Amino acid sequence: MATRIPSELIDAIVEHIPDDASLRSCCLAASIFRSPCQKRLFHSLSLHLPSGGGTSDRKPFHALAKRFEENPHLASLVKHLSLYFPAIRRPIFFGTVGDPTVYRSDPPRPELYHQSGTVDVVRAVFKHLENVEQVHIGSSGGDSWNALPLQLEPVVLDWLIRCGNNRNLSQLTIQGINDIPEAALPILLHAARVLFLWSCELEPKAQLEDSESICRVALQAPANLKQLEIDGSRSTLVRSTAPGAKDLVSHLTYLSLVTFEIHRDFFESLVKLCACSSETLECLQLWIMRGINAEHKALVESQFTKTLPHLQHFMMHSGLPSSPDHDLWILQTIISPVVAPSLTKITVILSKEEADPAGDNALGRFRFDRDATWALRALYDEFAAGHPTLQQICWHPRMYRYGQPEEEERRDFDEFCAGMRAAMPRAHAKGLLGFERAF
């Protein structure tokens, strides 16, 4: 009499298989293992887009297209896709390095050749991958959109348009890619519910002629972007509120902006993005390094007038202990009770760089001397204790030394918490202080 093994037990066994080779062998061992093993094997997929020459980088696409054509269910198992652009060819130099008469020649955009069917094969693979949930697009050696062969540019953009229209893509990350066509920005803003733009810049002039109007027509589904994080991507930040894109950032619930270069554009974009999503924004995170000047403050104070009625959580990377006035201005201006009448939580993140740029950055180096204690008591304590809706101000230190023993980290964290409670007696008495430990 055959005994039926529960599917939960099969899944538990498969979860403990250590590598892909063993998973492939297990698929062949018995039919009951095939489906759970295939789910693990095809859950995450990495693809390196073909470059402009050679044939070796196209073979994986031919093999994958054939496999998906013969077994369509395998494509539906792919949930995470990592997509890598080819390494860009570097400029060509003639002459002696350092010679002012040296001639520099930028290589043209690569084109696919030798195999006329490569574009069709790549398009066929993407057609099968329209149900992925998370996508990461990066570079495998270069840092430019121009490394993408001309024939593959519309293939990638068309695929992202379909992802946005069918609403299956939950998260899209674009990392380390420069020279992105400006016409592609609305496509990126429309493709997923969560978008991370990390160290990405647009090209000075769009190369896709008339593509912006074509792309805007192709974006059939309404705006779906709920969470947006822009980190070190100045041009994408500025253009995200341009006429062709601002309607796509009008329903954000979470907005995170990170800059290491203080400039007027950053604050103008902050004001515009908050205004676009004023009726939906629930969480705002800002990482503004020191350097805010009088012009920046005047701009925000005059233009940041839109009420954010649903904003409940504000996160900021603090300049303490070096610049308490910088923090106070942000608190009093950007999340004042007038601007954020429903604010309940503030998270203050203390970063390594601000704590001790030249030292070992251990949390134990954060000293509660007279000046630091006065700043905390006069600024943060007064603000938190007097806020009408605030329920918690949470301190999140990220200042542990690499390789620091666990017991030292715990001791430093406990001492930090005790010091904060002593420095902020009013907030502590009202039960407003919270602490999160970074691991």
Domain range list for the chain: 43-87+110-247, 252-439
In this predicted model, what pLDDT tens digit does every residue of 392-430 receive, in sequence order? 999 988 765 666 788 888 888 888 888 888 888 999 999
Distance CA 253, CA 255 (A): 7
Using 50, 70 and 90 to split pLDDT, how confident is the model at 210? Answer: very low
What's the predicted TM-score (pTM) here?
A: 0.85
- Mean pLDDT on 375-402: 84
Angle, helices 31-43 vs 7-15, to 10°: value is 50
Check if CATH label 1.10.3470 holds for domain 252-439.
Answer: no
pLDDT at residue 91 greater than cutoff 60: no
Q: What is the largest CA-CA distance in the chain?
A: 87
- Mean pLDDT on 279-291: 87
Peptide bond into 321 cis (omega under 30): yes
- Kindly provide the residue ranges of all beta strands, DSSP E only, lying in 178-322, ordered along the sequence: 194-198, 227-231, 254-259, 283-288, 313-318
Both tokens of residue 165?
A: 């229209």
- Mean pLDDT on 188-203: 93
Per-residue pLDDT at 174: 96
Smallest Cα–Cα separation from 363: which of 423, 327, 417, 316? 417
Smallest Cα–Cα separation from 397: which of 375, 414, 383, 385? 414
Q: Which of 116-120, 152-156, 341-345 has the lowest average pLDDT?
A: 116-120
Alpha carbon 80 to its chain centroid, in Å, reads 15
Per-residue pLDDT at 150: 83
Using 50, 70 and 90 to split pLDDT, how confident is the model at 359? Answer: very low
Range from 29-43, 78-92, 264-278, 340-354 that averages highest in pLDDT: 264-278
Regarding predicted confidence, which is higher, 202 or 34? 202
Using 50, 70 and 90 to split pLDDT, how confident is the model at 342? Answer: very high
Distance (Å) of CA 84 to CA 60, 87, 168, 174: 13, 9, 21, 10
Per-residue pLDDT at 364: 53
Evaluate whether 327 touches 316 at the Cβ level (below 8 Å). yes
pLDDT at residue 322 greater than cutoff 50: yes
- Mean pLDDT on 220-234: 89
Regarding predicted confidence, which is higher, 229 or 114? 229
89-123 burial code (b ≥16 CB/10 A, e <16): beeeeeeeeeeeeeeeeeeebbebeeeeebbebbb
Distance CA 116, CA 397 (A): 55
Using 50, 70 and 90 to split pLDDT, how confident is the model at 227? Answer: very high
In this prediction, what percent of the chain has a pLDDT beyond 70? Answer: 78
Question: Strand 80-85 and strand 44-48: pairing?
Answer: parallel
